[in-house]
Amino acid sequence: MSDCPERFSALRIHAGENKQTLAKLEEIGLDDLSDGDVVIRTAWSGINYKDALAVTGSSRIMKNLPCVAGIDVAGTVVSSEDANFKVGDAVIACGAGLGEDFDGGFAEYARLRSGSTVPLPTGLSLREAMGIGTAGFTAALAIHQLEHNGTRPDSGPIAVTGPTGGVGGIAIDLLKQRGYQVTAVTHRSGQEDYLRSLGADEILITSDMEFGPRPLEQALWAGAIDNVGGDVLSWLCRTTQQWGNVASIGLAASHKLSCSVMPFILRGVNLLGINSVYPPQEKRLATWARLASDLRPSQLANIVQREVELKQLPEVCTEYMENRNQGRTLVNISGDE
């Protein structure tokens, strides 16, 4: 049996009235958690946009309720039915249904599925791994896809949208380290110093920009990493250069995309879909190995803006939904490094 107390704290999402959901910090037991073959004592988690949606009830992302929220978790194995994971091993888990299809990481103990659990890469602490989290993992996947499709530092500038958020901030840092010229396209003024400190060479503020009505506008970008969707993604497709690559990650502004086929058939622009939730395990392991080596963020201390406790999550997740957050927020659970 695992070295786990009978009751421990967890932030669970419950069904409320009128299809609403309700987040409650409560004491639960291991038997309350969904199936899995590796139990960990949680050290750290982090907040992602999806967690903010779940905790505030802004969107119902969970299949079954009640469900512990938290799509990222890092900690130490306390029991395992899989020979690849031993008691005392440091591990991380991001996405793959955690905090969505089954109970997630906003709890003092979590039960994981070994098929998507990753041994902590050498050189990273548990805290650093959660500073990176799904946000950094997704940024790394997007850069991998751009480069796989031929984007190089000498191809031209790369636009990054949603740059004050987690994915955008880490994407700027990683691109800059690889020698790219980076333009941050933000909705917020007053963030210029922060964005330059991450490595942005140029900053565009959407309220000052003309998006233009034409199917093809002046070609500006060799590539783009988009976290917001909607009109901004349409504009990126319409302003990307011949053979350029646009990675579509998020929908913080809108899930819609409206543009003609002109960028794709006249400029050969590639629209690359990024899904960090269910990559094959080989790709997950390879990407985490890169996040500890050649794609290791250099600005994590700058991007990770604060640490919060489980009880603060409802309030902090509301700030995310109101676009008042900056960078990454860590959730300190046991605080083990």
Residue linked to tokens 């690849």? 84
Smallest gap, in angstroms, from Cβ of residue 84 to ligand NAP? 25
Rule CB under 6 A: is residue 49 a binding residue for ligand NAP? yes
The set of residues, in sequence order, having a beta carbon less than 8 Å from that of 31 and lying 6+ positions away, is none
Q: CA 296: distance to chain centroid?
A: 15
Radius of gyration, CA atoms only, the chain:
20
Pair 85, 115: CB distance under 8 Å: no
117 binds ligand NAP (CB under 6 A): no
Peptide bond into 121 cis (omega under 30): no
> Of 2 and 323, which has the nearer Cβ to ligand NAP?
323
Task: Give the CA count within 13 Å in the CB-facing half-sphere of 82.
Answer: 18
Supply the minimum distance, in Å, between the C-beta of residue 149 and ligand NAP.
17
The smaller minimum CB distance to ligand NAP, of residues 251 and 292, is found at 251
* Cis preceding linkage at 66, omega within 30: yes
Judged by CB under 6 A, the stretch of 8-16, 77-85, 159-167, 305-313 that binds ligand NAP is: 159-167
Q: Output the residue with the shortest Cβ distance to ligand NAP.
A: 165
Q: Which is nearer to ligand NAP, 57 or 162 (CB)?
A: 162
Give the number of residues written for the chain: 337
Residues numbered 257 to 296 that lie near ligand NAP (CB under 6 A) are: 274-277
Residues 131-150, mask of contacts with ligand NAP (x by CB under 6 A)? ---xx--x------------
188 binds ligand NAP (CB under 6 A): yes
Does 162 engage in binding with ligand NAP (CB under 6 A)? yes
Judged by CB under 6 A, the residue of 57, 300, 320, 330 near ligand NAP is 320
Considering only the stretches 103-111, 148-156, 283-291, 318-326, report the one whose residues sit in contact with ligand NAP under the rule CB under 6 A: 318-326
Q: Does residue 163 belong to the site contacting ligand NAP (CB under 6 A)?
A: yes
Instruction: Please tell me the distance from the alpha carbon of residue 58 to that of residue 321, in angstroms, as a whole number.
Output: 8
- Given a contact cutoff of 8 angstroms between Cβ atoms, the answer to whether 160 and 139 are in contact is no
Residue with Cβ nearer ligand NAP (251 or 289): 251
Amino acid identity for residue 56 in this structure? T
**Residue number with CB closer to ligand NAP (36 or 327):** 327
Residue number, 4 or 166, with CB nearest to ligand NAP: 166
Label residues 185-217 b or e (16+ Cβ within 10 Å = b). bbbbeebeebbeebbbeebeebeeeeeeeeebb
Asked if 227 touches ligand NAP (CB under 6 A), the answer is yes
Please say whether the beta carbons of 110 and 104 come within 8 A. Answer: yes
CB-CB contact of 147 with 60 (8 Å): no
| Closest separation in Å from C-beta 191 to ligand NAP | 6
CB 152 within 8 A of CB 68: no
Out of 220, 252, 272, 304, the only residue in the binding site for ligand NAP (CB under 6 A) is 252
Q: How far is the CB of 263 from ligand NAP (least distance, A)?
A: 21
**Number of residues in contact with ligand NAP under rule CB under 6 A:** 30
Closest distance between ligand NAP and the C-beta of residue 13, in Å? 17
Would you call 216 helix, strand, or coil by DSSP?
coil
- Whether 94 and 72 have beta carbons less than 8 Å apart is answered as yes
CB of 162 to ligand NAP, least distance (A): 3
How many other CB atoms sit within 10 Å of the CB of residue 3? 12
Q: Are 105 and 72 in contact (CB under 8 A)?
A: yes
Q: Which is nearer to ligand NAP, 43 or 47 (CB)?
A: 47
Query: Would you tell me which residues interact with ligand NAP (CB under 6 A)?
Result: 48-50, 134-135, 138, 162-168, 186-188, 227-228, 249-253, 274-277, 320, 323, 325
